[in-house]
Chains A and B, each alone.
Chain A
C-alpha cells in the first residue's frame, strides 16, 4: 500500500486529457489514482488489472448501458465514491456493476448502485472491505420472476472480508454468501428484497452484528454452515405465507444473542440444526416465535423474551432434545410464591394445537375455535401428545431483555 501514496493522479472528464475511464486506466500504472469528475460516462466491461484507485468527484456516474461495468482482476484495487447504473438482466452471464475475481485487499467504499442486475459480485477475493455502499435494485413485489433480479452483494469463495454499513434494497437477495469464511458483517440494512435479506450457504465462522433485515420477501435463510455468530440483529416485518425471520437449516455450533424478532410469520425456524445457543433474544408479535423440528438437538434456549406471539414454540416431534431454561413467557400463568422472580410451576410452551398443525396443516382452519381452546386446556393440565421434556422449569416472571425494546 505504501508506494501507492507516491502515484500520480490522472483526471477523467470531458475536457481532460482522458475523456474516458478506459484510456485513463490504460495510461495508469500500479499505485496511480484516477479521479473521475462529475458527469455520466458509458463504461462497458472495463478490466482493471493494476493496483489503482478510482475516485469519483461530485456525482461521477458510470453507466453500463446494459453490460457489466467494471471487472477487477488485481489485488489492492480501491473504488470510492462512484455511482453505477444500468446493468441489464442476463440469463447467460451474471452481469454486475463491479465484478471482482481473485482480487485481495479490495476496498469498495461509498458506491451507489442503481438498476443493476447484480450489484457487487466478488469471487475468490480475500481480506477486502465493502463499506457504506447504497445498492438499490428494481425488484418490486409485483415482479414475480426471481431470476430477473440478481443479488445486491454477492460473495463466492471469499475469506476474511468486512461488509459494513451498507444499505441494500430491492434485489433478489440482499446479501448472498457461498463458501465465505471468517467474515465480519455489521451495521448493514437489508430491506425489501424479493427473496432473502441475507442468504448464506457453506459459510463458516462468520460474525453478523447489528444488522437490520426488514420486509424481505422470505426473510433470512442460512444453511449448511457452522460456528456462525449473530448478535444484536433485527429481523422485522418479514410477513407472508412463506416468510421467515430467520430460517436455520443445517446450522451447527452457533450463537444467536441479543437479536430482536418482530412481526415475522415465523421468527426462527430451525431444521436439522444442533448445538446452537439462543440467548437474550426478544420475540415479539410473531406468528410462530420458534419452530424447532424434531431433528434439532442440543440447542440451548435461555433468557429470551416471548411476547405476544400467536404461538411461542412449535415442533413436529413428540420428543425433545433441546434445553429451554429461564425464559420469559408472556403466556405463563403460574405464580411465584417465594418472590424470587422465577415461576414456581414449569411452563410448557408447545400447545397441543401447534402440534396438530405440524401433523395436518389443513387443520389450521380450526384456529381460535372453541373446541381447540378446550383441547389446549386439557393438554395443558395433563400433557399427552406434546413433548414432555419440552418444558421451561424456571420460567422468569419479568421481561429480561428490556433494553431491546427501545431500538428500532
Chain B
C-alpha cells in the first residue's frame, strides 16, 4: 500500500501540475457560468449543464487516462523492473489520474456556480450533478485504463477507448430505443430501469432529471421511474450500481495487468 501511495502522489501531482487539468476545470467553470447567465431559467441551465457533464466528463476522463497511460509507458516499465507488485503500481496510477479528473470536475462546477450564486434556487440537483460528474470521471477513467492495458498499441488503445465512450453515450441509447419500439405494446418500464442501471451515463441523466420538476412530464412511465429512483431503496441500488461501475472495470484491469506481457 505504501507503494500505491507513493505512485498515487507522484501521478496526482504530475497531473495537477499539467495545464490540461486547469483548462478542463476552467472550461467547466466557464460553461456553467455562461449557461446560468444566458438561459435565465435555473432549471433549463441545470439541464444544459447536465448535458455537458454527462458527455464531456466521460470523454475527457477516457482520453486523459488513455493518453497518460501510453505516454508513461517508459515510467511504467522502469517501475515494473523493480521488485514491486504490479497491481499496486496500476492502482496508484489509476487513483492519481481519476482523482485529479474528479477534482477538476468538482472545482470547475463549484467555481462556475460561485459566480452565479444569486440565480441558484435549488441545491439538491446541484449536489446530484456533482456526485454524478465525479462518478462518471471515476468510471470512465477505470474503463479507459482497462481498455488501454488490454490493447496492444497506442493507436488501438485510444481508438477502443473512444469507441467505449461513443457506445455508452450514444449508441446504447439507440439500441434501447429500438428495444422500446419493438416491445412498445408491453409494459416495459421495469426493463427501462434495469437497462438504465447498465449504463452509468443514462443512470446519471435520469437521476438528475428526476431531481428537476420536469419529472412530471414523464407521465406514467415517469411515475414508475420516480417511484424507483426517488425511494430510498432505488437510490441505494443506483448508488451501488455506480460504485460497482467503478470497481468492476478496476478489478478486471488489475487482473489483466497482472497477467499481461507488457
Binding site for B on A (CB under 8 A): 239-243, 265, 287-288, 308, 310, 356, 359-372, 374
Contact = CB atoms under 8 A, between A and B. Distances in A.
Contacts of A370: 51, 55, 169-170, 173
What 8 A-B pairs are tightest by C-beta distance, nearest first? Answer: A360-B184, A371-B173, A287-B217, A363-B180, A369-B173, A360-B180, A365-B192, A362-B221
A366 B50 contact: no
B74 interface: no
24 contacts: A241-B219, A241-B220, A241-B223, A265-B217, A356-B177, A356-B181, A360-B180, A362-B180, A362-B184, A362-B189, A364-B217, A364-B219, A364-B222, A365-B192, A366-B176, A366-B177, A366-B202, A367-B218, A368-B50, A368-B209, A369-B173, A371-B173, A371-B174, A371-B177
Nearest to B213: A239
Nearest to A239: B216
A241 B209 CA distance: 15
A357 B169 CA distance: 20
Interface of B: 41, 44, 47, 50-51, 55, 169-174, 176-177, 180-181, 184, 188-189, 191-192, 196, 202, 205-206, 209, 213-214, 216-223, 225
A380 B47 CA distance: 22
A116 to B, nearest CB: 31
Contacts of B189: 362
A239 B176 CA distance: 29
B184 A359 contact: yes
Nearest to B183: A360
Interface of chain B, helix or strand or loop or mixed?
Answer: helix
The residue in A288, A359, A369, A372 that gathers the most chain B C-beta atoms within 10 A of its C-beta is A369
A368 B51 contact: yes
A348 B116 CA distance: 35
A240 B170 CA distance: 30
Nearest to B190: A362
B222 A241 contact: yes
Given A363-B177, A364-B222, 18 more contacts: A241-B219, A241-B220, A287-B217, A288-B217, A308-B44, A361-B220, A362-B184, A362-B188, A362-B191, A362-B192, A365-B192, A367-B217, A368-B47, A368-B50, A368-B51, A368-B209, A369-B205, A370-B55
Contact of A367 (B169, B184, B191, B209): B209
Contacts of B214: 287, 310, 367
Contact of B205 (A243, A356, A364, A368): A368
Nearest to B41: A308
B190 to A, nearest CB: 9
A240 B216 contact: yes
Contact of B216 (A265, A359, A362, A363): A265
Nearest to B54: A370
Contacts of A368: 47, 50-51, 205, 209
A361 B50 contact: no
A243 B202 CA distance: 27
Contacts of A288: 217
Contacts of A243: 216
A370 B177 CA distance: 12
Contact of A365 (B41, B47, B55, B206): B206
A297 B190 CA distance: 36
Given A287-B214, A310-B217, A360-B181, A365 B174 contact: no
Given A368-B47, A368-B209, A374 B170 contact: yes
Nearest to B48: A368
B191 to A, nearest CB: 8
Contacts of B173: 366, 369-372
A165 B191 CA distance: 50
Contacts of B44: 308
Nearest to A240: B216
Contacts of A371: 170-174, 177
A49 B180 CA distance: 64
A361 B180 CA distance: 9
B173 to A, nearest CB: 4
Contacts of A372: 173, 177
Residue among A241, A265, A359 with the highest chain B CB neighbour number at 10 A: A241
A399 B191 CA distance: 43
B35 to A, nearest CB: 14
